[in-house]
Every structure is written in C-alpha cells, then in structure tokens.
C-alpha cells in the first residue's frame, strides 16, 4: 500500500501567517467502512484469528465506536461471527452506528458503565478457544504494531510534528514507536480527564518510556468529553471543510483540527515547521449529529 498517495497539502491564511508547511494523511480514504486507523489496528488480530481457526471475534466499545463499526464489517467479510460489548445500558433507540453493527451481523451486548472495565478484564482471563478477543480500541501490542505501519512511507521522517487524536492510546503508541529522535507527536485526547493516557501508551512497549519527551498530550480539546460536541467544534469543522474540502468527525478528528489551529495561533510551532496531521477516519459517526450542524453531512 502506497500511503503517500493519501497525503494532501493544507494551506490557508493561518498556515501562511505562521510560516508552517502542513499536510494531512487521509486514512479516511482507505476503505468506505474499515477506514482510517481501524484498518491498521485490526490487521494483526484478523491475521491471527484466521491463522488459528477462530470462529468468533469479541470486542468492546461505546455507543459511537468506529472500532465496533469497522470490526463488524470486517468480520462479515472474513466469515467470522462477531460480538460487540457496549459500554452503557441499551438505549430505547439505537443510533446509526449500532444499527449498522447489527446489519453487518454483530451481536450486541450492553454492559453497565460501572462494571464495564471489570467485565472486559474478566473476559480476558477466560477467553473461549474459538474466540479472538480484541480489547477496546484494539489496545494491546497487536493493535499498536498495526498502527505503527501508518508511518510506513518514505516521507514520514521529514515531518517535525505528527498530530493525531487519541482515545485508548493504541494508535498513539504505534506512531510514537515509529518516530525518529528529532520528531514529536502531539495527541489531542478525545476523552475528558483521561490523564492516565500517558501511562497506558507507555505500557504497550518497553521502549516508549524513553520517548516521553517526544509526546505532548493535549487534554483541553475534548469539547465536553467522548462523543460530546458543541457549536465551537462544529464551527471549526465547517471552517476546515470550507477551506480544504476535507470532512472530519466530531468524536476525534474534528477535535484534532480545532486543537491544532488553536496551538498554531498561539505560536506553538516554530516558523518553517513541517507538520503532518493524521486523519484517522470515523466519519460515519457524524450521522448522529442533528442535520444542518455540519456543512458536509
């Protein structure tokens, strides 16, 4: 796969004013359903499941989970049964994400939020032999190694900053693992008060703690928390689309864009910096937004 074909240059009044060179890696274009970082994070789970003759994939996520949505579709394509364990009580009306998970053949199990973490932990201790378990967000070494391949293109080493949105930290760990010593990763947490994220990222590989000076996690651009949004976020997403024709999602990439331009305007980056934004996909989640909020719905 030639990832550099998905790189687009981003130039506007703000990038010119601050004299930075900005590009965006459009992982959202990889696949209509299994898009963005999910293509990478799920790769080695599916390879292992098929190699070992597993029949069922069990995974975990929230109501708007791009991970669940992608996993459900990929399981159908690979002939695997799928079970999605949802953090939350069963809603009276399912959103489009969950409806499509069911459409792709995924059985949904709703787990109360206060027992969700323990449920996943206990399941991991007693995984049936026919089951491939994928933790929430693909969080383990297999998800991390898949995510590290996002930077498998020749130009990757030319960027001073790699910028992405984060949830579980799986993709961030993969990106950080791949960075050259002169590069920095800026991660915008999509989850409110997710201050254990540093620890969770470093836990995925023994070498990552040595790269802690190359990681900057921004915690102030969650816009209310995971899956939350407001008009300020929509305005940032609409402006970016009007300027560049690139849609973002309100759960992850929209928050990254809003955060990046805030840092840019506050002189975070040195003049002449070469910057790569990672578009991690997830556009399907925008269907839950009230019509008229986004210019590109």
**Digit-coded pLDDT (tens) for 86-132:** 999 999 999 989 999 999 999 999 999 999 999 999 999 999 999 99
pLDDT band at 83; cut points 50, 70, 90 = very high
Question: Which of 167, 227, 248 has its CA nearest to residue 201?
Answer: 167
The pLDDT tens digits of the residues spanning 41-53 come to 999 999 999 999 9
Rounded CA gap, 267 and 79, in Å? 50
Confidence (pLDDT) at 287: 87
What is the average pLDDT across 179-183?
96
- Closest to 85 (Cα-Cα) out of 141, 134, 147: 134
Instruction: List, in sequence order, the alpha helices (H) in the chain.
Output: 13-17, 37-41, 43-51, 66-78, 96-103, 113-125, 141-148, 170-178, 197-202, 231-244, 253-265
The residue to which tokens 């992405």 are assigned: 164
Token pair for 89: 């009580």
Kind and range of the H or E run holding 216: strand 215-218
| Better-scored residue on pLDDT, 186 or 285 | 186
> First and final CA of the chain: distance in angstroms?
29
Residue 36 has pLDDT above 80, yes or no: yes
Task: Quickly state the pLDDT bin for 64 (edges 50, 70, 90).
Answer: confident
262-289: average pLDDT: 95
pLDDT for the residue numbered 227: 86
Q: Which two tokens stand for residue 216?
A: 């900057």
Structural domains of the chain, with CATH: 3-32+142-288 (3.40.50.1100), 37-139 (3.40.50.1100)
Confidence of residue 218 (pLDDT cuts 50, 70, 90): very high
Return the pLDDT at 1. Answer: 72
Cβ-proximal residues to 25 (8 Å cutoff; 6+ apart), any chain:
3, 6, 7, 150, 276, 277, 278, 279
pLDDT of residue 35 exceeding 90, the answer is no
The whole-angstrom separation of Cα 25 and Cα 3 is 8
Q: Is the pLDDT of residue 149 over 90?
A: yes
Whether pLDDT at 297 is above 90: no
Supply the pTM of this predicted model. 0.94
Q: Find out whether 275 and 163 touch, Cβ atoms under 8 Å.
A: yes
Confidence of residue 253 (pLDDT cuts 50, 70, 90): very high
Note the pLDDT of residue 174: 98
CA neighbor of 164 nearest in space, from 216, 209, 237: 216
pLDDT for 229-241, tens place per residue?
Answer: 999 999 999 999 9
pLDDT score recorded for residue 19: 98
Going by the DSSP 8-state scheme, the letter that residue 4 receives in this structure is G
- The arithmetic mean of pLDDT across residues 202-226, rounded, is 96
Burial per residue of 1-15, b for 16 or more beta-carbon CB atoms within 10 angstroms, e otherwise: eebeebbeebeeebb
Q: Which residues are within 8 A (CB) of 1 and not within 5 positions of it... i.e. 6 or more apart?
A: none
* CA 286/CA 227 separation, integer angstroms: 10
Instruction: State mean pLDDT over 23-49.
Output: 94
- Confidence (pLDDT) at 46: 97
State the Cα–Cα distance between residues 291 and 148, nearest whole angstrom. Answer: 36
Give me the mean pLDDT over the 145-168 stretch.
96
Dihedral angle, C-alpha 192, 88, 48, 131, nearest 10 °: 160
């Amino acid at each position: 796969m030639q990832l550099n074909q998905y790189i687009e240059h981003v130039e506007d009044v703000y990038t010119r004013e601050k004299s930075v060179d900005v590009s965006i890696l459009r992982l959202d274009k990889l696949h209509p359903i299994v898009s963005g970082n999910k293509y990478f994070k799920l790769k080695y789970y599916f390879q292992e499941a098929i190699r070992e003759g597993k029949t069922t994939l069990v995974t975990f996520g929230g109501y708007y989970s791009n991970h669940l949505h992608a996993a459900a579709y990929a399981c159908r394509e690979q002939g695997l049964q799928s079970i999605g364990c949802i953090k939350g009580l069963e809603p009276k009306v399912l959103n489009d994400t969950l409806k499509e998970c069911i459409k792709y053949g995924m059985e949904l199990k709703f787990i109360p939020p206060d027992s969700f973490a323990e449920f996943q932990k206990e399941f991991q201790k007693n995984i049936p032999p026919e089951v491939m378990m994928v933790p929430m967000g693909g969080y383990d070494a297999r998800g991390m190694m898949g995510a590290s391949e996002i930077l498998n293109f020749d130009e990757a080493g030319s960027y001073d900053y790699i910028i992405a949105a984060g949830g579980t930290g799986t993709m961030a760990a993969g990106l950080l693992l791949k960075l050259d010593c002169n590069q920095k990763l800026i991660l915008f947490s999509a989850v409110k008060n997710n201050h254990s994220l540093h620890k969770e990222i470093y836990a995925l590989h023994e070498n990552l703690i040595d790269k802690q000076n190359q990681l900057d996690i921004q915690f102030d651009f969650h816009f209310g928390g995971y899956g939350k949004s407001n008009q300020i976020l929509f305005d940032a997403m609409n402006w970016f689309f009007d300027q560049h024709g690139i849609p973002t999602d309100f759960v992850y990439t929209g928050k990254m864009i809003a955060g990046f331009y805030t840092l840019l305007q506050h002189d975070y980056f040195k003049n002449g910096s070469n910057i790569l934004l990672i578009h991690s996909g997830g556009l399907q989640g925008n269907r839950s937004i009230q019509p008229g909020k986004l210019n590109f719905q």
